């Protein structure tokens, strides 16, 4: 990726506003300092810092902006294009009826325990790996799981930035 042109805040938000799921506020807040970024890594770090320095309530809202994995939003066709691609690459669109039922049960148990959806960067994971992580993380303390969800969200953001770079390189 050549040096990004981050000099215009509106353009920055237009370009990167979807990196964090349904949370363009991350790009809006990062835009002020983005003119100094000269790499994808810099942009990723800048956006992650905006999230990490946000209030607990704002970070919780960010976590809650993520869809369930192999969940009802997928069935209803309500996922963002990035989420559709990520879940498809993980094979979540090919769940058997039994796997789908298991995902629904885990989604429900997780939400009931933590008050937010299970978030995992699934792009390079199999259904079995995702289900195993689900089971393992259900045992976490709520504070640990809150931080784990944010770590996964940052991974998702980096993967989305890398995918954006790859598409630009293809052109």
Burial of 137: CB neighbours in 10 Å, binned 0-12, 13-18, 19+: buried
Could you count the other beta carbons within 10 Å of the beta carbon of residue 36? 9
State in Å, rounded, how far the first CA of the chain is from the last one.
11
Q: Give tens-digit pLDDT for 100-142.
A: 999 999 999 999 999 999 999 998 899 999 999 999 999 999 9
- Of the candidates 133, 157, 126, the residue with the CA atom closest to the CA atom of residue 47: 157
Q: Which domains are present in the chain?
A: 9-61 (no CATH), 68-170 (1.10.3330.10)
pTM of the model: 0.91
The mean pLDDT of the chain is: 91
Active site residues: 66
> Residue 24: is it exposed, middle or buried by C-beta count within 10 angstroms (0-12/13-18/19+)?
middle
């Amino acid at each position: 990726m050549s040096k990004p042109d981050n000099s215009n805040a509106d353009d920055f938000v237009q370009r990167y506003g979807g990196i964090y799921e349904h949370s363009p506020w991350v790009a809006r807040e990062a835009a002020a300092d983005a003119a100094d970024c000269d790499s994808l890594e810099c942009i990723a770090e800048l956006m992650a810092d905006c999230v990490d320095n946000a209030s607990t309530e704002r970070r919780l809202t960010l976590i809650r902006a993520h869809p369930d994995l192999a969940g009802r939003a997928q069935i209803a066709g309500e996922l963002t294009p990035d989420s559709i691609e990520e879940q498809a690459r993980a094979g979540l669109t090919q769940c058997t009826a039994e796997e789908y039922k298991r995902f629904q049960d885990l989604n429900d148990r997780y939400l009931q325990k933590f008050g937010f959806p299970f978030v995992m960067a699934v792009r390079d994971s199999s259904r079995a790996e995702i289900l195993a992580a689900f089971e393992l993380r259900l045992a976490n303390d709520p504070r640990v799981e809150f931080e784990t969800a944010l770590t996964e969200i940052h991974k998702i953001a980096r993967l989305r930035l890398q995918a954006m770079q790859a598409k630009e390189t293809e052109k």
